[in-house]
Chains A and B, each alone.
Chain A
Amino acid sequence: MTMTARKPGTRTAPPPAPAGATAPAPAASRTRLLDFTDVAMTFANGTTALSGVDLTVDAGEFVTVVGPSGCGKSTLLRIASGLESASAGRVDVRTDRIGYVFQDATLLPWRNVRANVELLAELQKEPKAERARKAQEAIDLVGLSGFERNLPKELSGGMRMRTSLARSLTLDPQLFLFDEPFGALDEITRERLNDELIRLFTEKRFAGLFITHSVSEAVYLSTKVVVMSGRPGRIVKTFDVPFDMPRNPDIRFTPEFAELTGEVSHALREGHR
């Protein structure tokens, strides 16, 4: 396969903020980080994965894309990250600090938690002390302190996913891409990680683009829910989620939440026909 590796170098990023101390300037909060205009994707074998997709992610937004399996949701992320190039349309990604969380934790089994978390900074050729500092900060942030020396095979699925999150956090991403990261986890672990993610989102102020096929996860996590149709994937409807951030876990049981999930589910079913 072909892939376009994002070239490092042109990083216009401000120096990473100390954990939880400074909030970004309000002016930055309306920055458009991701802008897809009429994007289409047709693979070499003739499969059309996406057609006519318009999608934006602004700073401060957490956008979740729901859609049936095989509708091209993941392709959206692969284009945004530069792993693949769209076959038509305009793709603007206005940051180089992109975090990408894969479907699986994709940890290297021969590296312990700390070494796995350090990997990305290591590949960016950052000095040893610097990447150790960033790794420790990220490990503490996801609640894995004390497990630094454990190997992936000694961790539960949830802890592996936390390690994967920590690994991406070391990049201090402005735009965080999530490719169904919690799909393989059990319900309780998934709900916990959803709350952790919301906490990270409110603390670190990254913009999120999250792929899932769980409607309630989508509504609970995001500020905006985008519903896609079956292949070729189109955006059929967009919902703004009005609930406060950070979310109170109990909103899941409110009539407003139920109503919104109902509407999203309905749009999903419409689009699937």
Chain B
Amino acid sequence: MTAADTVAAPAAPSAEDPSGGAASGGPAAARRSPGGSRSRLSLWVPPLVVLGVIIAAWYFVSLVVLGRRNYLLPPPHTVIAESFLDTSILVDILDATWRTSQVALAGLGAAIVIGVIWAIAMSQARWVERSTFPYAVLLQCTPILALVPLIGFWFGYDFLARTIVCVLIALFPMVSNTLFGLQSVDQAHRELFALQGAGRGTVLAKLELPAALPAIFAGMRISAGLSVVGAIVGDFFFQRGTPGIGALLSKYVNRLEGAHLFGAIIAAALLGVVIFGLFGLIAKAAIGRWYDFA
């Protein structure tokens, strides 16, 4: 969980009303302590200190240890100047990042749709779970890198193949989280519905799916990070069409352009953080009203 999650989570679910009566005021009021800004500060300061230490170590290795060979690790200001302040390089990096995010989001979208539908099918019919879940696990255990050449061989070396790599990498967390969410519905809730003679479709729509949403969103966040990995791996293997940041990374390595390489790596890292954070925000907007993210 990110720092932002921890900050935003309400301290306690409610003001308990020991009388059980309805006389007390709105229980949703006054949750955050007056010392909130101070605790916010204490959340941000430690990681910033670590960042300072990392940058200092970076300078030390780059300038003192490596000295003239510091093309292997250019100092931070050189990285910023040569990759982010040089417009032509910055445009290259941003373009590549944009193409990578398109592949990652397409793959993630497909993984979410396939994963949720697959999990629903398994939760509805035992035999589907028995017969197909082992293959979901197998997919998770197989090093996807071993499949990547085959995917290119079958689907070409273009956008489609790169997206398929993303789907294969991002699928399992969606399937397993959704299935877990659907199956961990409280037994008393199931009985509540059964007593009214509710059918399977009703139970799925009004009980199981809403109850599974926190698990589904947790799966989405994991899959979102993995789909960025998948998109970059796809770039390394499939260079046809308009590959993204992976291709740029190989190019900079081949040309020994250390500063540009680090710029591209930072862009890839930021992309991952942004997509992860984006899905955190989506989850919070969708279910944060009733679900407390720990």
Contacts and interface: CB of A to CB of B under 8 A. Distances in A.
A5 B202 CA distance: 14
A162 B23 CA distance: 13
In the complex, the 3 A-B pairs of residues with the closest C-beta atoms, listed nearest first: A158-B20, A189-B20, A156-B17
A185 B210 CA distance: 28
Interface in A98-145: 98, 100, 102-104, 106, 108-110, 119-120, 122-124, 143-145
B27 interface: yes
B14 A156 contact: yes
Given A5-B194, A7-B197, A153-B13, A110 B210 contact: yes
A198 interface: no
The secondary-structure label for the interface of chain A is loop
A147 interface: yes
A188 interface: yes
A35 B291 CA distance: 43
A60 to B, nearest CB: 24
Interface of A: 3, 5-8, 81-83, 98, 100, 102-104, 106, 108-110, 119-120, 122-124, 143-147, 150-159, 161-162, 185-186, 188-189, 192-193
A5 B28 CA distance: 37
5 contacts: A8-B197, A110-B213, A123-B196, A143-B22, A144-B22
A119 B210 CA distance: 14
B21 A192 contact: yes
B186 A106 contact: yes
B46 interface: no
A103 B187 CA distance: 12
Contacts of A3: 191, 194
Contact of B196 (A8, A110, A146, A153): A8
A158 to B, nearest CB: 2
Interface residues of B, number: 35
Interface in B1-55: 13-22, 26-28
B-side binding surface: helix, strand, loop or mixed? loop
A159 B20 contact: yes
B207 interface: yes
B20 A5 contact: no
B290 A123 contact: no
Nearest to B12: A153
A106 B197 contact: no
Nearest to B292: A153
A138 B198 CA distance: 22
A119 B19 CA distance: 26
B109 to A, nearest CB: 24
B59 to A, nearest CB: 49
Q: Which one of B28, B213, B292 has the highest number of Cβ atoms from chain A below 10 Å of its Cβ?
A: B28
Contacts of B202: 123
Nearest to A106: B188
Contacts of A122: 206
Contact of A154 (B28, B189, B210): B28
A188 B194 contact: no
Contacts of A155: 14, 17, 27
Contact of A156 (B16, B188, B211): B16
A154 to B, nearest CB: 5
Contacts of A119: 192, 206
B193 to A, nearest CB: 7
B289 interface: yes
Contacts of B206: 119, 122-123
B185 to A, nearest CB: 10
